[in-house]
């Protein structure tokens, strides 16, 4: 897993768009939820990628890295279409 700084900031502020943990930051969701998705299959696309990355962070005990990023960097602003 290789992420650039911008990707880590985006991951720190990424929210779950559906289900039991809707509107919660991925870092706030318990590890077992990601483990269940790993067994059943992560969603397609960006959400699935973000969930896979967060699963790796959680199983390696690196959540504090994400909390530190949230303390040091503001939430990224949505990109506007021209």
How big is the chain by its Cα radius of gyration, in Å? 13
Query: Domain locations in the chain?
Result: 5-72
Residues 6+ apart with CB under 8 A from 70: 12, 13, 25, 27
pLDDT for the residue 52: 97
CA atoms within 13 A on the CB side of 11: 27
pLDDT digits (tens, 9 = 90+) for 9-28: 999 999 999 999 999 999 99
* Ranges in the chain, pLDDT < 50: none
Looking at the chain, the whole-number percentage of residues with pLDDT higher than 70 is 91
């Amino acid at each position: 897993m290789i992420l650039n700084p911008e990707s880590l900031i985006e991951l720190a502020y990424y929210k779950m768009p559906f289900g039991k943990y809707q509107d919660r930051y991925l870092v706030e969701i318990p590890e077992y939820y990601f483990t269940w998705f790993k067994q059943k299959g992560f969603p397609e696309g960006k959400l699935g990628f973000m969930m896979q990355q967060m699963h790796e962070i959680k199983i390696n005990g690196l959540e504090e890295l994400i909390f530190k990023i949230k303390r040091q960097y503001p939430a990224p602003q949505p990109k506007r279409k021209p």
